[in-house]
Amino acid sequence: MNEIFAHAKSILVVWVDDVDSEILATFQETLQNKAQQAHIAFENVQKLFESQRGTSSCDIILFDLVSKNDAPTNLDLLNEFFRLLHPNGYLITHVEHLKQKQTIDHFKMCGFSSCNPLDANSSFLIGNKTDDVKRHGSLWLCQKPSFDIGYSVPLRKTGISLIRQVSTTGGAKRVWTLEGDDDDDDDGIIDTDNLLDDNDRGKPDVKSYTCGTTSSGVRKACKNCSCGLAEELEQEEHTQAQQNIKSSCGNCYLGDAFRCAGCPSRGLPPFKPGERIILPTVSDV
Amino acid sequence: MLLEILFGSQTGTAEDVSERFSCMARSAGVQCRVRSLNSIQSMKDLGIYVLFIVSTTGDGEEPENMRQFWRIIMKKSLSSVPSVLSHIHYGLIGLGDSTYPKFNFVAKKLSKRLEQLGAHAICEKVLADEQHPHGIDGCIDQTFTKVFWKTFGDLIGQEFIPHIDQCLPSRYQIEWIDSREKDLSNLQSSINIPKIPTGYTSVPLISNTRVTALDHWQDVRLLEFDTNLSYKCGDVAVILPQCPLPAVHLLAKLLNVEDKLNHQFIASNETSFLSMTVLELFRDYLHITRIPSRSFFEKLVWFSNDERERERLLEFLQPESIDDLYAYCHRPRRTSVEVLQDFPLTTSSIPFNYVFDIFSPIRPRSFSIASSPKTHQSRIQLLVAVVRYKTIIALYREGLCSNYLSRLEPGENILMRIAPSFNLIDDDRPALMIGPGTGVAPFRGWILERSFNNQLLNMLFFGCRYRTKDAFIENDLLNDKINLIYIPAYSRDQEDKIYVQHKIIEYGHLVWEWIAHKQARVYLAGNAKQVPEQIADALKTVFIKDGNMTNEQADAYLREMERTKQFQRETWS
């Protein structure tokens, strides 16, 4: 924890409601001690979206640590924090235990890849919280992923709109900006799934296939049958074959291409007239 | 005027269809060129008249030999030039299997894209379906073939009448190497040196062990090879199988070349050159036990001089009798050699060089590596389910590669190369793995490796039929030294079928904890048919129940997991 602050160059403290300017000043001092290299900025959450701060401009964002109670987060807010953070940057906020599950999910949905509760050593951050609040919640540290799996890859259209749909606050300003298209990139192909509409996703009705002749919905085993259907069908065929003993066409000695359906030699290779081949039907391999 | 026939083919089916249309074209006097789509370097290479023949493979993906083309035609920058392909007139044949969720997605996407870019369709595309009673060819001939040739003909101002019994020139010329003419020692050495295709290594087998119970109908083998080929967990071993010797000898007999089995020949044409013995040709190079396509029968007509055989062949090829052809050949999975056996007089008239026209080359097969280079030094292990089943034909139907592997004895060599496949990310995040059946193969090695590295958090959902018969993973992974939370689903050990997806939901609280609070990475390996959908549904159920989400939120969450690679899957068809 100390290391994170020691190395930070830019910290944004986002505060909620009316907070005494004295308290803010004290908090700033404490912070500056821990983060000697950092420039520390303060912003009220109501003004945050209007301010349109620069993308990837903060190393650490502290949300609502200064007030006594815990303000809930929402997806729009988290998305904005995500945008503002550098890759590998950190978001720290205090989360009520009751809201923990949902909040962590929101962190994930917005792309924070590493979310962990913090231990008591970070208590300098929540000095202003009431004891009750501290008891019923925990400090959480979330990290924005690094370059290659995170934000810098242009998001697909579908990805953005899905997150927006789940947003709980209407009328929020656009929080995502695509940082230019990577047209000259090797990876610049369209999302081919967008080429398909609902009709395309449907499958043909197999029963509607006309075949002209006598095919009758035969149960067919797959080429690499691994469920046992092939074995079942084998048994059926075997019993059927045993029941056909009379030849009706006299072409038994020719191959299956010339034999009739009831031929007792069906399944055997051609042989010389008069001769019979006994083939092992059950191989001992 | 040139008709470009361009295919994207994973297992050779699309290539077959291309070959068939090429024969139709040539027999009607149309010049054409058949190439894989990856031969296209830019949109300019496409020409004016194009027939696209594209399969969909895996989980709605494009075949490897059109991947490069896909990146070119789907490039974002092309979208801003909407009439870039307006000079092109094309036909489109899609090949797929409607039992898979993403049926013919590649053809559908290509069709939309071509439309977007201004290309003109010669006629309505066909989305052929393996599930059609007459298979792919049946589908194509029913709705596409005639219309395509008619409309194409109208477009050019020519009448195209394909003649199916016109014998076309053979792909290769054959020259026999007479051992008396050449230096004997040279010849000896060239016969003795095994021909190893580029990229492959000859690798010896150490052991071949059955890991399912003897009284269980499925035969699964653990094969161990001795090699220093470098690999990582998640890679596949790509193997070139051989055809079984009885089929090789039978074919040689039918073609009257039994006495030439060990003779060397050179096959050549304008662009390529091959040299091997007849034995090697039938065993290592040509897939002689493949189930023949329609064009196989069409080519037999070229050579049939016996009245009865010729009549039967022509009958089979009539549109009205297509069901007979399928009942004879495709449904019982009759091999090419077996068909030739039924038409002995025709077969004995086939000139030797035409074997290259009626058979296609053996294609390699991939198997996920089930070992880890860290825990199995100089070894590669594979888990292989042997495909063997009965149809009305007396002899068992056998998968080419799985049976080739099952017959191997220790000391025998096979041809293998390594290829990347599943991206198993090696970091400290917990791994939640879902691997029913032989899908568990890549996880086997990886769990051993992670235990070796003391990466403590590993969870595996494994599914099989009976605990005592095919839970083959348990011997390897259930002991004190392995860090693993193991959750099995034995589907037939009780009255209700229990599969991995049921177990995922049953242990939802644990799954949720791992995914949401421990940032576990989730990996799924299995058959593309139903497994991915069922697992996705199970995970979403967990998000809803244990993560308190709505349907939409669960959907978004899973999609986000895929986008950030927190959820990855490797599925095969």
Q: Do residues B399 and B368 both lie within one domain?
A: yes
Quick check: A214 contacting B, CB < 8 Å?
yes
| A176: closest CA of chain B, how far (Å) | 16
Q: Are residues B224 and B263 in the same domain?
A: no
Give contacts of A 33-62 with B, CB under 8 A. none
Q: Any CB–CB contact under 8 A between A231 and chain B?
A: yes
Residue A67 covered by a domain: yes
Residue A146 pLDDT more than 70?
Answer: no
CA A276 from centroid of its chain's CA atoms: 63
With H, G, I as helix, E, B as strand and everything else as coil, classify residue B562: helix
- Say yes or no: B391 and B530 in one domain: no
Q: Is residue B183 part of a domain?
A: no
Whole-angstrom distance, CA of residue B468 vs CA of residue B236: 28
Give the closest-approach CA distance of A174 to chain B in angstroms: 19
Name chain A contacts of B319, Cβ cutoff 8 Å.
212
Tell whether A99 and A53 lie within a shared domain.
yes
**A279 pLDDT higher than 70:** no
Asked if B437 and A269 come within 8 Å (Cβ–Cβ), the reply is no
Q: Would residue A256 count as lying in a domain?
A: yes
Q: Is A21 on the interface with B (CB under 8 A)?
A: no
Nearest to A252 by CA among A231, A234, A267, A235: A267
Is A10 in the same domain as A138? yes
Q: Which of B76, B521, B530 is the best mutation test for A, with the most CBs of A within 10 A?
A: B76
- Structurally, chain B folds into a number of domains equal to 4
Q: Where are the alpha helices (DSSP H) in B304-386?
A: 307-317, 322-325, 336-342, 344-348, 355-358
For residue B246, which of B338, B371, B368, B140 has the smallest C-alpha distance?
Answer: B338
CB pairs under 8 A between A and B: 181
Contacts of B11 in chain A (CB under 8 A): none
Q: Which residues of B fall within a CB distance of 8 Å from A281?
A: 390, 394-395
B194 belongs to a structural domain: no
Domain contains A282: no
When pLDDT is averaged across residues A63-69 and rounded to a whole number, the result is 88
State yes or no: pLDDT of B218 exceeds 90. yes
| Residue numbers in B near A283 (CB within 8 A) | 395-396
Same domain? For B464 and B370 the reply is no
CB contact under 8 A, B331 and A283: no
* B chain contacts of residue A285, beta-carbon cutoff 8 Å: 406-407
Same domain, A105 and A168: no
- Rounded distance, CA B257 to CA B280, Å? 13
Would you say residue B168 lies in a domain?
Answer: no
Which residues of chain B make contact with A108, given a CB cutoff of 8 A? Answer: 516, 557, 560
* Whether residues B97 and B221 fall in one domain: no
Residue A60 lies in a domain: yes
Smallest CA–CA separation between A257 and chain B, in Å?
A: 6
Q: What is the pLDDT of residue B132?
A: 87
Q: pLDDT value at position A246?
A: 52
Q: What is the predicted pLDDT for the residue at B101?
A: 83
Give the residue numbers spanning the domain of B51.
3-156
Average pLDDT, chain B: 91
How far apart are alpha carbons B344 and A257 in whole angstroms? 11
Question: Nearest CA to A25 among A66, A63, A70?
Answer: A66
Q: What is the CATH number of the domain that holds A109?
A: 3.40.50.150
What six digits make up the tokens of B262? 């060990």
Using one digit for the tens of pLDDT, what is the confidence trace for B106-135? 999 999 999 999 999 999 999 999 888 888
Q: What is the pLDDT of residue A238?
A: 62
Q: What is the DSSP letter of B317?
A: H
At B109 the pLDDT is 96
pLDDT in tens, B72-86: 999 988 888 878 899
Interface test with B, best of A103, A148, A158, A192 (most B CBs within 10 A): A192
Contact B175, B181 (CB under 8 A): no
Residue-wise pLDDT tens digits, B25-60: 988 888 899 999 999 988 888 889 999 999 998 888
What CATH number does the domain containing B92 carry? 3.40.50.360
Pair (A137, A6) in one structural domain: yes
Inside any domain, residue B106:
yes
d(CA B56, CA B10): 8
Dihedral of the alpha carbons of B132, B135, B138, B144, in degrees to the nearest 10: 80
Q: Is residue A284 situated within a structural domain?
A: no
What confidence tens digit (pLDDT) does each residue in A228-244 have? 776 776 666 666 655 55
- Residue B285 sits in the same domain as residue B368: no
pLDDT over 80 (residue A36): yes
Q: Give mean pLDDT, residues A156-172.
A: 30
Touching check for A8 and chain B: CB below 8 Å? no
Minimal CA–CA distance to A55: which of A143, A177, A191, A168? Answer: A177
Looking at the fold, whether B211 and B340 belong to one and the same domain comes out as no
Contacts of B517 in chain A (CB under 8 A): 104, 115
Nearest Cα residue to A256 out of B324, B164, B75, B472: B324
- Cβ contact, residue pair A204, B103, below 8 Å: yes
pLDDT 10s digits, B257-300: 999 999 999 999 888 888 999 999 999 999 999 999 888 999 99
Residue A177 domain-assigned? Answer: yes
- Measure in Å the smallest separation between the Cα of A195 and chain B Cα atoms: 6
Residues A64 and A169 in one domain: no
User: Which pLDDT belongs to residue B201?
Assistant: 95
A234/B564 CB distance under 8 A: no
**Same domain membership, residue A7 and residue A134:** yes
Rounded to 10 deg, the angle between the A100-109 and A75-84 helix axes is 50
Let me know: does B124 contact B142? Beta carbons within 8 Å: no
CB under 8 Å to B448, separation ≥6 — which residues?
Answer: B371, B372, B375, B376, B476, B477, B482
Q: What is the pLDDT of residue A280?
A: 52
Regarding whether B318 and B216 lie in a shared domain, the answer is no
Number of domains in chain A: 4
Specify whether A6 is located in the same domain as A129. Answer: yes
Query: What is the complex's ipTM, to 2 decimals?
Result: 0.78
* Cβ pair A163:B556 closer than 8 A: yes
Residues of A annotated in the binding site for [2Fe-2S] cluster, as ranges? 211, 222, 225, 227
Do the chains contact at B342 and A258, CB–CB below 8 Å?
Answer: yes
Could you tell me if residue B296 is inside a domain?
yes
Tens of pLDDT along A168-220? 233 333 223 222 333 344 458 888 888 898 888 888 887 777 654 444 445 55
Is A283 part of any domain?
Answer: no
Q: Which residues in chain A touch residue B565, judged by CB atoms under 8 angstroms apart?
A: 149
User: Do residues A83 and A61 share a domain?
Assistant: yes
Q: A254 and A226 share a domain?
A: no
Q: Is residue A61 part of a domain?
A: yes
Considering the domain architecture, whether residues B414 and B561 belong to the same structural domain is answered as no
pLDDT tens per residue across span B511-535? 998 999 888 999 999 887 778 889 9
Nearest to A108 among B392, B395, B516 (CB): B516
Q: From B341, B358, B375, give the residue that closes a domain.
A: B358
A11 and A130, same domain (yes or no): yes
- Residue B112 to residue A166, Cβ atoms within 8 A: no
Give the residue from chain B lying closest to A109, CA to CA: B557
Question: Is B302 in a helix, a strand, or coil?
Answer: helix
**pLDDT greater at residue A243 or residue B573:** B573
- Residues B457 and B327 grouped into a single domain: no
Residues B341, B386: one domain?
no
pLDDT at A182: 36
Look at residue B170 and tell me if it is in a domain: no
Share of chain B above pLDDT 90, in %: 72
pLDDT of B323 reads 85
CATH number of the domain where residue B275 is located = 1.20.990.10
The answer as to whether B161 is a domain residue is no
A40 & A159 share domain: no
- With an 8 Å Cβ cutoff, are B392 and A166 in contact? no
A63 within 8 A of A112, measured Cβ to Cβ: no
Pick from A163, A188, A257: CB nearest B328 = A257
CATH number reported for the structural domain that contains residue B468 in this entry: 3.40.50.80
pLDDT, residue A224, reads: 61
| Mean pLDDT to the nearest integer, A59-72 | 89
| A278 interfacial to chain B (CB closer than 8 Å) | no
pLDDT, tens digit, for every residue of A248-277? 567 788 889 998 877 888 899 998 876 766
Q: How far is B482 from chain A (nearest CA, A)?
A: 27
Cα B409 from chain centroid (whole Å): 26
Strands B264-268, B236-240: pairing kind: unpaired
What CATH number is associated with residue B388?
2.40.30.10
B145 in the same domain as B12: yes
Q: What percent of chain A has pLDDT over 90?
A: 9
Long-range contacts of B177-185 (CB under 8 A, 24+ apart): B177/B263, B177/B264, B177/B265, B177/B266, B177/B275, B179/B263, B179/B264
Q: Please state the residue numbers annotated as binding site of A.
A: 211, 222, 225, 227, 249, 252, 260, 263
Domain span including residue A170 = 155-202
- A218 chain-B contacts, CB cut-off 8 A: 133, 331
Closest residue to B77, CB basis, from A183, A204, A283:
A183
Q: Cβ of A226 and B98 within 8 Å? A: no
- Do A186 and A262 belong to one domain? no
Indicate whether B184 belongs to any domain. no
